[in-house]
Structure formats: C-alpha cells, structure tokens
Structure 1
Amino acid sequence: MNEDDPQKLKEVADDAGHAYGEWFKRYMNIFTRRFAEWMLVFLFGYYNLSFGWLMAPLFFLVLRDKRAKEKKVKFDIIRSIANADEKDILQEIQRFANLPSWVTFPDMERVEWLNKIVRQLWPYAGHYVHDLCKFSIEPSIRTALEEYKLNGFKFEKIILGDTPFRLSGVKVYDDTSRHEIIMDMDFAYAGDCKFEVSVSKFKMGIKDLQISGRMRVVMKPLVRQIPLVGGLQVFFLNNPDVDFNLIGLADVFDMPGLSDILRSIVIEQIAHMMVLPNRYPIQLVEDINIAELKCPAPAGVLRIQVIEAKNLMKKDVGLMGMGKSDPYCILRLGAQKFQTKTINNTINPKWDYACEFLVNDLHGQELMFEVYDVDDGLNNDDLLGRANLDVHDIWQSGEVDMWVPLSDAKSGRIHVRASWLELDQAAESLEPQLEEIRALQTTTKNPLHSAVLLVWIDSAKKLNNIPDPFVRLHVGNSQQETVVKQRTNDPVFEEGFTFLVRNPRTQELKVEVVDNKTATVQGKIELDLKVLLKERNLEIMNEEYSLSGASGGLASLKMNLSLRVLKTVQKRDDGDGGPKEIEVAVEGEETTAEGEPQDGVKEEMVTVATSLPTQAAAPDSTGEGDTAVRQRLPEKGVHGLGRIELTVKYGPRNNLIIVVHRVLNLPVEDDGELPDPYVKLYLLPDHSKDSKRKTDVIKDSCNPQYDERFEYALPPNELTKRTLEVTVINKKGILFLQRSPKMGQVLLDCGLLDASKPTQLYDLCPPCDDEDE
C-alpha cells in the first residue's frame, strides 16, 4: 500500500463527515423553523387568539423583504454606473440609441481624467471625512435628533470604503463675472462605506450610501498670487438623491414610513450644510473678504403665487367610480421649502398661496412644485404630479403668469405667478414695495416681505466665566444660530445670516450671546432696523456693539449689518437671451404719400427668426444677420390668418419646453361671430394621443391669451428628427353640433431652434390638412 493512501483515506473521511454535518445542520434548521411555525399556529388556536396577530408581522416582513429587494436592484444599477468606465457606458448607450461615439450630454464635458485622479487620492481622504463627520455633521444631527427625544448621538466608526465618487460630466460657465469661475459637476457616489453610530446607548449604522445630484463649485475671488483662487464654495443646487441601507438596531426601522423619517433627517442635514442657500466654504488665501466667501449677498428674491389647480387626478375613489382628492402643493428651491394648505374633496383646488424664496444663483436652479393628496394613516401621501420653472427664465422675463402641466400624472395643471425682486440700496424704494404688498394681501393672507437683512457675526470679546458661547438672532418669527465655540471668552464666529423683513420701519433685530453649557444669556443687543434706512447704502460695517446685561459691562459683539429693499422688476419682453426687437416690413406693401401704412397694414416691432423654421410665418428680413431693417407688417400676418407667440427651447433635463403665450388678430368667422380658439401641439412624426398637448378654449376672442406651458421628454439625438406642429383650432358649437375647423398652423424644425431667441412671433400659415378636428 502506498504511504499516502492512509492520509487520503483520512481526508476523504473528514470530507464526508463534514458534508454529513452540513447536511444535518441544514435539515435541522429547516425542521426547527417548520416546527416553530406549526407550534405558533397551534398556540394561536389553543388560546383562541385573533389570526390578525399572526398576519400583521408576516405582512410587515413580506413588505420589508420586497423593499429590500427593490433597493438592492436599484443600488446595483447605480453602483455599476458609478464604477463603470466611460467607454463601457457609451457602448451600452449606443446599444439602445443611435449616438455617435463622442456624444455624452449636450452641455457637459467628459472628465475621465479627473475620475482617475480622484481614484488615486481616495485612500487619503479618510482622515478629512472623519473630521468632517465628527466636528460638523455630528453636532447638527445630535441637535436634530433631540427634537425626537433621542439624545447622545455620536459616530462610533467611520469607514470610507474603497469605492470613490464619480463625476459624469463638468460644465464651466463663460458668461459670469471675471472675478469668479463657476463649474457644475454631475456627482454620483455609490460606495462601500460604513458608518456606525450610537443614540441613547443603542448602536446602529448605515452602509451602501448613495448620493447623486448636480454639484456646483464656485471659485472666488480670483487673486494675483498662487493658487490664483482665494476660496471655493461647494454646494448642491437642489436636494440630492440620497439612499442607504440600515444595519444594527436601525435595521428594524427599514420599512416604509419609519425609514422615510430617518432618510428625511439625513437629507435635511445635507441640505443644511451644502444645498443652496447653504454653502460649504473653503478658504485658500488669507487676505480675502471672508464675509463675501462665506455669506455672499443673494442675487434676488422670487415671489411665488400658487393660485389654483385644475383637473387633478382622483385618488380617493368612492362608489360608482366617483371620487375626489385632498390636494396640497409643496414648493422647493434648493433647501428652502413651503407648503400650501390642504383643500378637501376637490380636483380643482384654489389655494391663493404666496411665498418668497431667496435666490443665490441664477444659473441652473429650478423651482419645483409637487402636488399631493392627503392620506390618513401610515401610508405616504399620494403624488398628484410635479412641475418646475427655471429661475433664469423668470429672471429674464421679470414676471411670468402661466398654467403649468403636471408631469408624472395622467391629468392636471397648476396656475402659477412668479415675480423677480431685485435688491436695491435706495430707501425710497421701500414705500412702493409696501404698497404692492398691501395690494397682494387682499388675496393671500401669507406674510410677504419688503426687504432683506444681511447680518455678519464676526466675533465677541470679554465674555464671562469661560463659556461655550453661540449667538442667537431673531427677526420677527425667524430665528437662526451660529455654531458653538468651545471654552473661550473671545470667540471668533465669522458666520453670516440672511433674513426676510416684512417692514424695516417697525421690526427689530434681537441678538443674544448664550452659554451652551448653562443656557444663560451672556448679553444681548436690540436694534431697530429703521436705523439702517438713514445710513449710507443702508449698511453699518465693522461696528462693535456693547452687550447689555453682561456682568462687568465690558462684553461686546462685532457685526456687519446690510439692509436691501426689494424692488419689483417690471415684466419685460426682451433681455439676455430673450427676444430682440427688430423692425421689419413685408415687401410689396403699399403706403400712402405721407409714408403711413394703408388700412389693414400696421407698422410695429416684432421678433423675426433669421433662420426660418419650416412653414413658420415670420417673413424673411432683407438685411443680413440681425441687422434692424424697417419694414411693414400686416395686422393679421402674411397670410391674413393671425400670428402666434411661442417660447420653444431645449431644457437642461433633456426636455423640449413650449410655452404658448398668445395668438394675435385671428379672423372672425364668415357669419361675423368671434371664434372660440385653442392651440393644439403634436411632436411629429408622432401623431398619437401621447404626443398631443392642447391649451384651454378661450371663448369669443380674436386675441386669446394662454400663457400655458408644455413639455416633451426628448433625447438630444432626437431633436433633428422631430418637428413641432402648432395648430390653432376654432372650437365652436355644442355637443354633436360642434365643429372644429383649423384656423392656422406653424411647423417648427426642432433641429433649428435658436437658443438665443427662444420667444418669437410666428405668422400662421394655411394648415396642411384643412379637415375639421
């Protein structure tokens, strides 16, 4: 016998014993579970307990398992995208879309080289993230959880993992101030990090964190010394998408309703730290204006009125298919959020709600509207639809008043009015704004504001008893606080705050320096804001105020105060990127000896496309390029069918946006009756119901005003293949006697859209198909 045979026999015997042991444990495990299940059912029957006590936990277990599987699929997809090489992503895209190899996104540039640098630097980022979590995030979350009676939050373990974040594209703006550089980045993180925390002596944690959104980096000010950039401001334009899995004790809460509360807390803390108007500042050079870096003045204020909604979906369905909804609307701009009241039992609610948003950046921000139906019980409220408005478009127009259709909904639209308010340094602008507010308050009871107060808390001196001080500020019902400084009599805060002020003539600023350990007030300042109205440029800079109530009477607080009066910008028809006024006339029109147009011919200012769309009725200009040439236009357009004013542009979310503003000078009917016009849209070659959009019918009008907005989801590579058909239709008559003849039509080639002139007047042409609708 070979010497190795006994050893081989022993190994075979060990393997067999191990396999038998595994088989026995597996079947004993199955037997134990089955026995426990049958015993549980037996005990329920033996003690005459309700079967619902058994079904309730089973229902939640099934629901939790289903949710976990959905999250796993979603996470695997996001991680594969975040970790995939750019070439692999493009190859997958090209399998489903006919894109050239260099196409990624219309406005974004490829930065694969930057992702490679991030991958190399990622192992060294752990220490910075540890300090960020311990000293910035931990105090904020601890304060937030104390509202839910959960005390003592702290990070126990912070593991960043091996998978770095990924930047899928970068855009650098070239139309900004020469003293700053603005860069947008599509940020995605789906890593293998792990954070363990303790709350009220219970340990829990999160893993598989996912964060994605558009991040902005502002480099300002630009300086004349290396590194040429004085500081960075890093922030998300809107709330990023956040998801994660819970571990430890928190895994019990990973089910609908409870996990949403935890997720909202995490999102709230991210928003509080780096979602506009909050920024994460990084100072790179010493000799710069730190107040301008950490707390720049807002670009302006948006005053929003959500007036009403129509034809919302019915979520509370009753007998015979009849039902209503209990709708309310949530408005978001970055981290700012407002909510209307709930209107019960209606699909056509009238809210008449007004609010105001601070706007810190004009580029890239969108005002979001979400309409929900209130649901009683543990279920989340049902979504009735979403809509959005571009802040830059509102700034260009000065004011918009339109009906906006709801996406993610079968039906419904909301009536929105938005006004842009600029910041003025003249005290004379206050009274007109107060009069405007008083007029608006007749329709809405929500408080509106006439000014913005900027407060910079620099430092305090000679406080008592070595406190842990922080500063609390009050203006009206609004309260804000600085971070706590540990054990110092001379704290340096260097934090800025912005307040909306209803009336600076009657309101005051209250400032308190508080000891965080004992909750005692070290001293306070009360300042009437009307004092600022008498100051030059409405501001007080680098002033040291004595703290009243401070023992010893030597404590002081250094502050900067700036007041800016809100001034309503009048609605304008042109502006940067808006329609330009070009004087044109149609060749062949006769004039009188005095040079005045004959009857039926009107000289006016209109917008003309230099490159005409297919069948667009704007006449060719006789000049070259954008040269202004005086011509004459007939009142009813070249074909005598009237004209239509449209805004057509391609949006940042791969969507075609159309706003139907108005139709001018439609002809009356043969019997002298006024038409009942509406506008219908199709995105050709698709002539199906899904492609159809239409406005309301305006009764008895030759000059109907619509201001209704529509959207089509459209990949950029499809633009050159699509044509927008815009038809004006007369909807006259009732029921079966109704006739709907086409009054005029415009066809726009989507591949020839002029981004610099989105709003234009088009002459209506005879329709290609004259059949009635």
Structure 2
Amino acid sequence: MWPFIGEYVQTLLMTQVQKTVQDSTSLMGSFKFVNIDLGDIPPRIGGVKVYTEKVKRDEIYMDLDIIYSSDCEIEVKLKGVSAGIKDLQLHGTVRVILKPLINQAPFFGGISVFFLNNPNIDFNLTNLANALDLPGLSDMVHTIIQENIASIMVLPNRIVVEMAKGVKISKLKFPSPDGVLRIHCLEAKELVKADIGLMGKGKSDPYTVIRVGAMKFKTPVINNTIEPEWNSVFETIIDQRDGQFMDVEVRDEDTGGKDDKLGTLSVELSPVADKGLVDNWLPLENVKSGKLHLRLQWLYLSKDPLLLNKSILANNKEGAASKNDLSSCILMVNLDSARELPKQFTANIFDLLFSRSKKMSEPSPYVTINVGQKTETSNVVNDSTDPRWEQGFRFLVHDPNFQVVDLKVKDKKTEMVLGELSFPLKNLLAAPNLEDDRFFQLKKSESNSEISVRFALRVLTTEQKVNWKQDTENLMSASAQSTSVDEGVKPAPGAGSPPPASPTNPISPTGKGKPASPVSPTAPSAQAASANEIVPETVQSVQSQAPKAIPPAKTLEREGSVRQRVTSIGSDVLGEHRMGRIQLTLRYSMQRGKLAVVVHKCVGLPALGKDNFSDPYVRLFLLPDRGTKKKTKVINNNLNPTFDETFEYSVTPQELVGRQLEVEVKNDTGMFSSSQKDMGMVLIDLAEMDVSKATTEWYDLCPESEIKRKETDI
C-alpha cells in the first residue's frame, strides 16, 4: 500500500497544506512544495492490541501503534530560496473498528479507522529558516500539517469504508459519543519566569492551549505574571473515552517571536469519566516548576427530557459564576440526502453579451447547518438534483426550548439558495427517544424539494444512571437477551425453541441461597444444553423475569446515605434486606468436572463512601474450603456495577452435593471510602443445583449476621 499512500499524501501536501501555508501570513505567499518523495521505507506497526472487554460479539476493536521514520525527500521554496524537510517522523495510535461481523467474506461489513489522539509529528527544515530569518517557520508548518491530518482522521473525524453491500454501517458513520467533557482551566502558580529584565526580575505572559483529539482550545493571555487566573471553561464532545487523552501546554506569549513553553501535561480521560469530577492541581512536566489547576467534569448523555430543567438550572448557576454559557444538551444531525432539487439557469459571458438563451443545468448542492453561533458545512455533490451526503454533525446546545437549527441547501455554482429548513429543537423534547428521522419539506424551493435528516437530542447530566426504570427492565428482562458470557450461543440445529421451564426455582430455596423473587426463567432445552458442551468454557446464561412493576418516582435513603436515584426505582431492586441484589449464573460441566460461576452485576448497593458512592467487588468461596477464594475486579464509584467475570472450581458431582457457594460483596476501602467493607452476602446450597443446565438468578444480599443466624436455626 505504501506507494499509493505516498501519492495520496503528495496530493494532500500540494493542495491543502500548501494553500494553508500561503494564506497564513503575507510572508508565506510564495511558499510551495517543489518535490515530494516519501521514500521506500513504509511505516511499521509497533504493536497490536485487541480488546476483549466492553465490546460486542459482532465487532472487533484494535489499536495499532504506528511508527514512521522516513527516508523522505521533500523540497520547498519560499521567496526564491529552496530548502528541504528531513528526518520526518510520525508516531501515533490508530484505532481500527471492524463492524458488524458477518458470515461471508470479508466477514465484516464495514471498517472505521482513526487516530485517538493527535499523532506526534517531528521534522527539521534545512537552510530556509536560517536564510530568511523567519522565526517559528518550522512550528508553523508543523502545526499546519498536524491540523490537516486531524481534519481527516483524528477524532471526531474518521475514515469509514463499507466492505459488504447491503450491510448497514450507520453506527460506524454516525456513532453515538461517549459523553461531553467540561474543562475548567482555572489558574496556575509557580510558573517559570520566561522574560528576565535588566534588574534580574522575571515575568511571563502565560496562556494555555488544550487539545482533545482534533479540537483545540486556548485561554486568554494574562500579562506580567507567573500566577495567572484564567477561569476559562471549554466543552468538547468525547467519542472514545477509553484511550483518549487531553494534552495541555502552557506557553509564554512573545510578540514577534516564538512563544516559549512553560510546561505540558497529559490527562487520561477514562479515569475522569469513571469519577465524574476531578478537581486538582497538576504539576507541569518538562519544566523546572509550575502547577496548573484544572477542574474536569464528565457529562453523561440521557434520553430523559425530565432532566433538562435540572441541567439548565445548574448550568445557569455555574455559568453565572464563570461568565460562560454552558451546554445542557448535545444535538446530533445526520444529513442523509435530498430529492427533487430545482435546476438552475446558467449563462456564460458570451450568452450575456449576445443575448443568448440561458440553459438549465443540474446544481452542485451543499448544506450549511447553523445552531446558535456554530455553523457546519457539508461536502459538495456535483451536478445532482438528488444528492446524497451521508454526513454527521454535532452541536452543543444551551437551551433547546428556545433554539432552532437552520439548514440551507445551496448551489456551489451560483451560491443561490435551493431550499431552507428551520426546525425548532423543542419539537424533539416530545418526540420518542428525543429523535426525529424523516424527509422534511424544503421552504423557498421552486419544486417539491425534500431533505432527509435525522435529528437526535441528548440531555447532558452528571448522573451516570439517569433512567432507572429502563435500566432495571433491561437488567431483569425475560426476553432472550444475552450477556457477555452467553451472547451468540444458539441451540443446536433441530433443537427448536427452548420450552418454558417449570416455575420451580432451579436451586431450591433453603433460607440461605434463595433467589431474589419468584421467577419463571426460560431454560434451555436438553438438546441446547448438550450442544453447549461442545464449547465447555461457554456458560449458557438465562435471564430472569422482572420481579414486579417498579413504583414511579420513589426516593430511597438508607442510614443517611443518599442513593444514586433520579427518576424511578422500587424496593425490589434493593431486595428483602435493602442491601441490593446480585445476578449470578451457575453451570456445571460433567465433561470437565468443573463448576462455572459467572458474576454478572449488582444493583441497589448501599453508598458507603464520603462521596455517596462505593467501590464494590465480589469475593467467592466454595465452602467448606476457605482456600478457594476468588475475586472480581474493583468497580470504582458505582452502586450498580457490572462485572461479567467467570470463575471455575474443579469439583466432582459427588463432592458438589456437600458444597456451598458463599458470595460476598465487599467495599474496597480507599481514599473516598469508609472503613466499612461488608456490603452483603449470599449463601447457595449446591446440593439443590440442577447440573443439567445453566441457571441465572437474582439474589437478595443480606447481612452476614442473618446468614449465621439461619445456620444456627438449621
């Protein structure tokens, strides 16, 4: 591929980059590339990481470490002086998503490629900078090249290719973002004195540049200080929280010269999203001294319109303090196509001079989309009355009750408006899932022109779980939904649909290992169970039905700890002892002589930390042997953690009868947690286990004292 990539890069440099350099300043008007040869050494892949967690069975996520140290020959000319670019190096992480997986070659329907963060680009300019004494020329060319790469394939930009016909890859083209990051760049202290005066006293004129993917933000310059206070607030949409970083650079402004660096730092976004809020003084790197005060807030996306007023009120209060207009929603506009656009009259200069008749021609339409102070422009589709753009745009919205999205379809040849659409965002607040996807009639059009657009609104909230009714229904649904353990496992051919099982619980209640509520699980048939033995590691999971209807809008508190509740939740989620519930799958393999225990998730756990959260994990023992301890990972700051971890115990069928499974939910005591560790436990008598099939149940967590009391009674 390398020779063809070289031709593509050559075209990119000769067209986009060269023009950008020429337009940057009057001194660069004569800048041009004379020769571009990227050499014979292609980039190499330093490593490949394939994700196995938090991915679905019909997709593959890979990160490729791209390293390029070239033998390129690039010659540029400015004001008649020629110079070369040498030692060009590039290093970055490329994410590749193959989705959806299909049962025909090439076995995936689409591919999406992008840089998670701006790649590191380095090169040297020879002769030119010294000859013309142009300060900052190398930095200028470096920045322009980096921004052009970012505009093509650094998030949120990506390259998406359809690999199989008839496969919808809209989720690759228009993925839903993970959230919104609100960045408060507050102040700095102990900065380096970049400008030393005659009296030996120093000062700096600091400002901060923040980059997240292809987005770039800059604070104002504060003159004559090493302890600036910016109090600047920025908001940016985050597509991939895992793997992305926020790069920060503090600089000293020098009028007419190169700005000095006062320090840098890099912040990983995934921990910020997990915590929700980070407010810290962070030490600057690559400098003798200096600290930067950042406040980072993660905002989740919700389809619940009832949260809008709460978000607006909180933003108005916070925005008034920081003198910034903060966003309450994100608007996603997926521009698909248009049809029956009007043709345009065209005439050249000779037609006008000699009064010749004008001709009708097809337009070259493009669309401008405006929301508030931001305007986006689509690609141009040449010579078409039925153009297809298939582009996505996102806007941060202050208040959808009053704002409007305006679309204008224009002809690139004449710049005339072919049609307009004005859509009030308040219409989405009453729409199902806050979405409207259809053909809209264009106004000010001479024909029956229509445009196909999908509008989707999401409310920004600091609450991680915002629709408890929906979440609980998803957790306890009796439909054939699979977990990460059993997703994609189907009965063997001819097995047919699995019949309903008896209402009797698969594990008989003993007063200790009793499931959370009377349920009627849908169990796999005997044929399906035997088919699953083909892959012993696979555990056939069966979802239980929801217990009872959840009463609306019920606020719950336990021992003074405020639970994370927003819209609606019922006492069933908290269980009989109001300590929460845990979902487990048990499966015994006769062929392998192993008991598999899958710890799926917990709901309604108590908040034990000072921040009204807990850091739960699950510990298991196969009693009476205390040496069989197994443990899940810790899920920080979560009252409804999802583990989806599988543990196995080697035990014979005869030994299984005399064993009990002790499941304990613990709180990882740390900086923000109390010293209290016990969050509840379950004791399951395996003598009552049906070894012929897998069973998935919700169990009420109860205190250890309750388990001990029942054992004494027995």
TM-score by length of 1: 0.55
Q: Check 1:180–1:339 CA distance in 2 against 1; reply closer, same or farther (3 A cut).
A: same
3-state SS of paired residue (1:370): strand
Choose from 305, 310, 320 the match for 1:432. Answer: 310
Choose from 384, 408, 421 the match for 1:525. Answer: 421
Task: Report the CA distance between 1:519 and its aligned residue.
Answer: 2.6
Q: Distance in 2 between matches of 1:202 and 1:549?
A: 54
- Describe how 1:609-624 pairs up with structure 2 within 5 A: 624=629
Alignment of 1:508 onto 2:387 = no
Letter matched to residue 332 of structure 1: R
Letter matched to residue 330 of structure 2: V
Q: Check 1:507–1:250 CA distance in 2 against 1; reply closer, same or farther (3 A cut).
A: farther
3-state SS of paired residue (1:441): helix
Contact kept? 2:98, 2:112, Cα under 8 Å: yes
Contact kept? 1:152, 1:200, Cα under 8 Å: yes
Could you say which residue in structure 1 is the equivalent of 2:440?
A: 545
The Cα offsets for residues 299-352 of structure 1, whole Å up to 9 and x where unpaired, read as: 111112122222222222335543232222222111111112222222222222
Alignment of 1:226 onto 2:105 = yes
- Describe how 1:27-176 pairs up with structure 2 within 5 A: 122=1, 125-127=2-4, 129-130=6-7, 134=11, 138=15, 142=19, 159-176=37-54
**Paired-residue identity, %:** 39
3-state SS of paired residue (1:443): helix
Q: CA RMSD in A?
A: 3.9
Letter matched to residue 164 of structure 1: P
Q: Distance in 2 between matches of 1:546 and 1:293?
A: 28
Contact kept? 1:184, 1:217, Cα under 8 Å: yes
Could you say which residue in structure 2 is the equivalent of 1:558?
A: 452
Could you say which residue in structure 2 is the equivalent of 1:298?
A: 177
Q: Distance in 1 between matches of 2:162 and 2:151?
A: 19
Q: Distance in 2 between matches of 1:549 and 1:141?
A: 39
Could you say which residue in structure 1 is the equivalent of 2:217?
A: 338
Alignment of 1:322 onto 2:201 = yes
Q: Distance in 2 between matches of 1:428 and 1:137?
A: 52
Task: Report the CA distance between 1:273 and its aligned residue.
Answer: 0.5
The Cα offsets for residues 58-81 of structure 1, whole Å up to 9 and x where unpaired, read as: xxxxxxxxxxxxxxxxxxxxxxxx
Letter matched to residue 54 of structure 2: T
Contact kept? 2:338, 2:450, Cα under 8 Å: yes
Alignment of 1:184 onto 2:63 = yes
Q: Check 1:142–1:352 CA distance in 2 against 1; reply closer, same or farther (3 A cut).
A: same
Could you say which residue in structure 1 is the equivalent of 2:254?
A: 375
Could you say which residue in structure 1 is the equivalent of 2:301?
A: 423
Task: Report the CA distance between 1:359 and its aligned residue.
Answer: 0.7
Task: Report the CA distance between 1:453 and its aligned residue.
Answer: 0.9
Contact kept? 2:18, 2:33, Cα under 8 Å: no
Contact kept? 2:124, 2:138, Cα under 8 Å: no
Answer with 1 or 2: which has the greater Rg.
Answer: 1
Task: Report the CA distance between 1:388 and its aligned residue.
Answer: 2.3
Letter matched to residue 307 of structure 2: S
Task: Report the CA distance between 1:358 and its aligned residue.
Answer: 0.8
Could you say which residue in structure 2 is the equivalent of 1:640?
A: none
Q: Distance in 2 between matches of 1:663 and 1:632?
A: 9
Alignment of 1:353 onto 2:248 = no
Q: Distance in 1 between matches of 2:21 and 2:369?
A: 19
Could you say which residue in structure 1 is the equivalent of 2:478?
A: none
3-state SS of paired residue (2:321): coil
Q: Check 1:134–1:382 CA distance in 2 against 1; reply closer, same or farther (3 A cut).
A: closer
Letter matched to residue 424 of structure 1: S
Q: Distance in 2 between matches of 1:485 and 1:144?
A: 27
Contact kept? 1:355, 1:447, Cα under 8 Å: no
Task: Report the CA distance between 1:462 and its aligned residue.
Answer: 2.8
3-state SS of paired residue (1:442): helix
Task: Report the CA distance between 1:244 and its aligned residue.
Answer: 4.0
Q: Distance in 1 between matches of 2:667 and 2:307?
A: 41
Task: Report the CA distance between 1:549 and its aligned residue.
Answer: 2.4
Q: Check 1:152–1:469 CA distance in 2 against 1; reply closer, same or farther (3 A cut).
A: farther
Q: Check 1:133–1:511 CA distance in 2 against 1; reply closer, same or farther (3 A cut).
A: farther
3-state SS of paired residue (2:322): coil
Q: Check 1:311–1:136 CA distance in 2 against 1; reply closer, same or farther (3 A cut).
A: closer
Choose from 360, 379, 385 the match for 1:489. Answer: 385
Could you say which residue in structure 2 is the equivalent of 1:213?
A: 92
- Structure ranking higher in helix proportion: 1
Q: Distance in 2 between matches of 1:662 and 1:319?
A: 54
Q: Distance in 2 between matches of 1:199 and 1:458?
A: 43
Contact kept? 1:222, 1:228, Cα under 8 Å: yes
Q: Check 1:622–1:410 CA distance in 2 against 1; reply closer, same or farther (3 A cut).
A: farther
The Cα offsets for residues 247-281 of structure 1, whole Å up to 9 and x where unpaired, read as: 99999679541232222111111000011111111
Q: Distance in 1 between matches of 2:85 and 2:231?
A: 42
Contact kept? 1:194, 1:208, Cα under 8 Å: no
Q: Check 1:273–1:141 CA distance in 2 against 1; reply closer, same or farther (3 A cut).
A: farther
Any unmatched runs of 5+ in structure 1? 1-121, 573-602, 612-620, 634-643, 647-660, 665-773
Q: Check 1:131–1:555 CA distance in 2 against 1; reply closer, same or farther (3 A cut).
A: farther
Letter matched to residue 161 of structure 2: I
Task: Report the CA distance between 1:401 and its aligned residue.
Answer: 1.6
Could you say which residue in structure 1 is the equivalent of 2:331?
A: 453
Contact kept? 2:615, 2:667, Cα under 8 Å: no
Could you say which residue in structure 2 is the equivalent of 1:587?
A: none
The Cα offsets for residues 653-674 of structure 1, whole Å up to 9 and x where unpaired, read as: xxxxxxxx7999xxxxxxxxxx
3-state SS of paired residue (2:320): coil
3-state SS of paired residue (1:130): helix
Q: Distance in 2 between matches of 1:141 and 1:564?
A: 40
3-state SS of paired residue (1:495): strand
Q: Check 1:544–1:196 CA distance in 2 against 1; reply closer, same or farther (3 A cut).
A: farther
Q: Distance in 1 between matches of 2:144 and 2:86?
A: 16
Q: Distance in 1 between matches of 2:130 and 2:321?
A: 48
Could you say which residue in structure 1 is the equivalent of 2:143?
A: 264
Letter matched to residue 419 of structure 2: G
Contact kept? 1:352, 1:443, Cα under 8 Å: no
Aligned residues: 476
3-state SS of paired residue (2:421): strand
Task: Report the CA distance between 1:364 and its aligned residue.
Answer: 1.2
The Cα offsets for residues 14-45 of structure 1, whole Å up to 9 and x where unpaired, read as: xxxxxxxxxxxxxxxxxxxxxxxxxxxxxxxx
Q: Distance in 2 between matches of 1:523 and 1:200?
A: 46
Any unmatched runs of 5+ in structure 2? 344-360, 467-606, 620-625, 632-661, 676-714
The Cα offsets for residues 470-489 of structure 1, whole Å up to 9 and x where unpaired, read as: 22111111111122222322
Task: Report the CA distance between 1:469 and its aligned residue.
Answer: 2.2
- Describe how 1:538-687 pairs up with structure 2 within 5 A: 538-541=434-437, 543-550=438-445, 552-569=446-463, 624-626=629-631, 645=670
Task: Report the CA distance between 1:413 and its aligned residue.
Answer: 1.3
Task: Report the CA distance between 1:497 and its aligned residue.
Answer: 0.9
Task: Report the CA distance between 1:284 and its aligned residue.
Answer: 0.9
Q: Distance in 2 between matches of 1:263 and 1:225?
A: 44
Contact kept? 1:134, 1:155, Cα under 8 Å: no
